[in-house]
Structure formats: structure tokens, C-alpha cells
Amino acid sequence: MDNTLLINERVEVVAVFKKTVDPGLLCFPAKMKYRNQLIEFSELGLRHPTTKGRKMIHVFDMSDGANDYRLEFDAESLTWTLIAIMEASYVGH
């Protein structure tokens, strides 16, 4: 039933910062290197801010067209963490 793989690992990310009027697309990760594998994102599902104490964390729910990925950007330490992968192959089975 649960198709979410919890990862919680630091990853390398190439992010895009746009000069756009659309607040949903101001910033998003374009690609990520996870365990030597390059993953290119094709869609930003949702970005939402949250806090850990007073630390601002931006949560990005991304998709590469096959799987969904949850990444967190720590705005204080400037680190990207891959929190979880939702494997689409399991979804709906």
C-alpha cells in the first residue's frame, strides 16, 4: 500500500531561479544527482514552505515523468536533501 521510499540523504542539485510573475515557478530544482544517477525533473508538483523551529525549509514535490520526489531546501544552511521517492510503478497496484 505504501509506495514511498524514505531516503533522507543530501544530494547535489541544479536549481533554476526565474524572473517570472508566476509565484509557483519562481524557483525549482531542474536536476539532481542521487547515488551517481542523474535525474532530470520534468514537472514541479508543488512547492511549499515550512519551518523547523525558525529555520525556513522549502519543500519541493517534483516529478521526472516516472516517479515523484520530495526534496527539501534548507534556506539557512543552503543544503538540498532528498527526503523520499514515490515510485509510480507501485501506485495503483
Partner 1 sequence: MLGINQETPKIMHIDLNSAFATTEQQAHPSLRGKPIGVTNRISKYCCVIAASYEAKQLGIKVGMRLDEAKSIAPNFIILETDPAKYHHIYKILFSIMSDYSPNVVMKSIDEGVIDFHQTNSLHTQSLESIGLEIKRRVTSEIGNWMTVNVGIGPNRFLAKTAANLNKPDGLNVIDYHNLKTIYRSMKLTDITGIASHFEARLNAANIFSPIDFFNATGDELKRRVFRSVIGEDWYLRLRGYEVDNIATKLGSVGRQFVLDIKATDERIILPRFHYLCETTGKKLRFNNMDARGILVWANFRSGDNWYIRKMFKTYFYTDKDIYQRALYLFNQRPKDLTMTAMGITCYMLKPSLRNQISLFDEINKSDRLTTALDDLSSRYGNFTVGPADIIKSDKIVKQKIPFGSTRYFELLLESSKSSETVNQV
Binding site for partner 1 (CB under 8 A): 1-3, 22-24, 43, 45-46, 48-54, 59, 61, 63, 66-68, 86, 88, 91-93
Q: Give the nearer residue to partner 1 in terms of CB position, either 21 or 36.
A: 21
Q: Give the nearer residue to partner 1 in terms of CB position, either 30 or 91.
A: 91
CA gap 43, 28 in Å, rounded: 9
Smallest distance from the beta carbon of 56 to partner 1, in angstroms? 8
Q: What 3-state class would DSSP assign to 24?
A: helix
Phi-psi region of 8 (alpha: psi -120 to 50; beta: other; left: phi over 0): left
Smallest distance from the beta carbon of 82 to partner 1, in angstroms? 15
**β-sheet with 79-86: strand ranges across:** 4-10, 79-86, 68-74, 55-63, 43-52
Q: Give the nearer residue to partner 1 in terms of CB position, either 3 or 15.
A: 3
Smallest distance from the beta carbon of 60 to partner 1, in angstroms? 9
Are the CB atoms for 83 and 6 separated by under 8 Å?
A: yes
